[in-house]
Amino acid sequence: MLKAALIGFYNMKSENDPWATIEKLSKWGYKALEHGGFLLKGDVQENLKKLSEYDFSVLSVSTDIDGLKNNLDDIIAKATAIKVKNVICFWSDPQNYEEAIEIAGIFEKAGEKLRGEDLTFCYHNHNHEFEKSFNGVKYFDILMANTSPENVCLNLDIGWVSFGGENAVELIKRVKDRIKLMHFKDFYDFNDRNSFTSLGTGKVKIQEILAEAAKLDIEYITVEQDVLRNLNADDTVLLSYLTLKESGLVE
């Protein structure tokens, strides 16, 4: 049975009482947040203890390509301090084949070092990885061909996969050994990249994709919606969770 996690919606670092948000999410059924940076504010050990009291987890820290190249030790220290296992890079956008190969090399090198520290490097896709090609090969496939599954895993965003014109179910089957985390998001218009909507109210085949995700060796799937539509944050977060729970595949 999968567990529901969350990213976005609430700014945990700036909220006066992030624990009230954690308590609310826990009562609704969520089990984790993807980013744990807010735990570094104040007494880290006390924060971790409090988190466990809500039976809640944090799943990752994030960085960018520059961080992978120049600040990897700091990232390792942060992940170790808050006891997470995943380091996520959310963006890369090469302009030619040579840059794509260079980025793959950065990911592979960083992933190898992170693996040596018992951490997992995950790359998070958007749509352009499937729309942009170099030498007749999609950028996503260049990354897969020039990195190893041991060192470069995926935080696969099935909303952006679908927006980019890919069959998400077939892609999951193809790269299943790399998937460690997944983002579930929905769009009501594949011609408008800002047409985000709560899960199950758009064009992404949420239930088919969820059924395939349930076959993977993963524990969490993460709800994300970059921009609110008609509902407020609380209503969107709750509706998306209930859509997942109704499938019988999510706790």
Given a cut of 90, is residue 15 above it in pLDDT? no
Let me know: does 185 contact 170? Beta carbons within 8 Å. Answer: no
> Coil, strand, or helix at residue 162?
helix
- What's the average model confidence in pLDDT over 96-112? 98
Question: What are the residue boundaries of the structural domains of the chain, listed by start?
Answer: 61-231
Q: What is the pLDDT of residues 210-251, one digit of tens each?
A: 999 999 999 999 999 999 999 999 999 999 999 999 999 999
Let me know: does 1 contact 241? Beta carbons within 8 Å. Answer: no
* Mean pLDDT (the chain, rounded): 97
- What's the average model confidence in pLDDT over 20-41? 95
CATH architecture of 61-231: Alpha-Beta Barrel (3.20)
CA distance 227 to 232: 10
Q: What is the pLDDT of residues 165-176, one digit of tens each?
A: 999 999 999 999
CA distance 52 to 95: 44
